[in-house]
Amino acid sequence: MWFKNTFIYRLVSENTISPDVLNEKLTLKPLLPCSGLDKQSRGWVPCYGDKLVHSANKQILFALGVEQKLLPTTIINRFAKERAAEIEAQQGYKVGRKEMKELKESITEELLPRAFSLQRTTYAWLDTVNGYLVIDAASSARVEELLELMNKSLDNLPFKQLHTAISPVAAMTDWLAGNNAPAGFTIDRELELRATGESKATIRYANHELEGEEILKHIASGKRVTRLGLTWNDRISFVLTEQMQIKRIEFLDIIKNESNEMAENADELFELDFTLMAGELAKMLTDLTHALGGEAGVS
């Protein structure tokens, strides 16, 4: 239960929701198996064991499940070519583009009910104390899937993406140029620089010292920092992006050891892992937002 890549949202108002009410709402839209010609099915799934919603210290965890039918285009094309060859042999004419399209549609309808299904899960954490909605996903497409169903499931929980007074690009470039990370943070060995002109030339550094004239020359020439590796209080390392995404999160051993030493069974370990993760990430997000000038539009 350790988030790896996060998209961060804020509750628009002070509206919140209790675990019981959330559980009641999510129960109305569970994940159901794909049926008939459905290629995909979405719904809420248990986030741990048989629990649809897990709550601890006003921190709430829930999960979206997506089931997809696996029917590669290459398979459809192969069957379509075989059918087209049979038609050509029987009727003596070449199958045209329109008829080939209809063949593929027919074959898709025929094969979908027998196709294998793949299920994946996207987790979300609702911090009702600090007003964060944090989604553990590497791509915006996965996030949109979850937000879309949230909007259908919850009528009174508006949210928006977190925006700060200082853009991550401006702040990260300033930190790197002055070799001066904000209080509580250190700069790691991960960097992406991008030109602001039409070329959009991009330079990436991985496991590389980020000090010296070379990098300063890139900044002086107009390149800006779009990704930067950071560590917070020697407890969490991550990569901050220009879109305010927090990627490749690593909770350092000092945190994980705390739960391993206290837990006596799997249930206790899950409870402690989630509690520690939520507590540490909430404090880190607060410090990071402060380092970026605070939340935009909030005095």
Which has more pLDDT, 198 or 66?
66
Helix axes of 97-111 and 73-91: crossing angle, nearest 10 degrees: 120
Give the model confidence (pLDDT) of 222-274 as tens digits.
899 999 999 999 999 999 999 999 999 999 876 767 767 777 788 888 988 89
Which is nearest to 46 in space by CA: 19, 28, 26?
26
The tokens describing 221, both together, are: 């020439």
Dihedral, CA of residue 236, residue 239, residue 244 and residue 247, to nearest 10: -80
Those residues with Cβ within 8 angstroms of residue 68's Cβ, 6 or more apart along the chain or in another chain: 34, 39, 40, 117, 118, 119, 120
Give the model confidence (pLDDT) of 153-193 as tens digits.
987 778 899 999 999 999 999 999 988 899 999 999 999 99
Beta bridge partners of 45: 63
Task: Give me the amino acid identity at 254.
Answer: I
**Using CA atoms, how far apart are residues 185 and 289, in angstroms rounded to an integer?**
12
With beta carbons less than 8 A apart as the criterion, state whether 30 and 45 touch.
yes
**Using CA atoms, how far apart are residues 284 and 290, in angstroms rounded to an integer?**
10
Which has more pLDDT, 76 or 238?
238
**Using CA atoms, how far apart are residues 173 and 275, in angstroms rounded to an integer?**
33
With beta carbons less than 8 A apart as the criterion, state whether 157 and 132 touch.
no
Total residue length of the chain? 299
The mean pLDDT of the chain is: 89
The predicted pLDDT at position 299 comes to 56
**Using CA atoms, how far apart are residues 59 and 21, in angstroms rounded to an integer?**
14
Under the banding of pLDDT at 50, 70 and 90, the label for residue 298 is low
With beta carbons less than 8 A apart as the criterion, state whether 11 and 251 touch.
no
Which is nearest to 215 in space by CA: 253, 246, 247, 187?
187
pTM of the complete model beyond 0.85: no
The CA R_g of the chain, rounded to the nearest whole Å, is: 24
Q: In 3-state terms, what secondary structure has residue 130?
A: coil
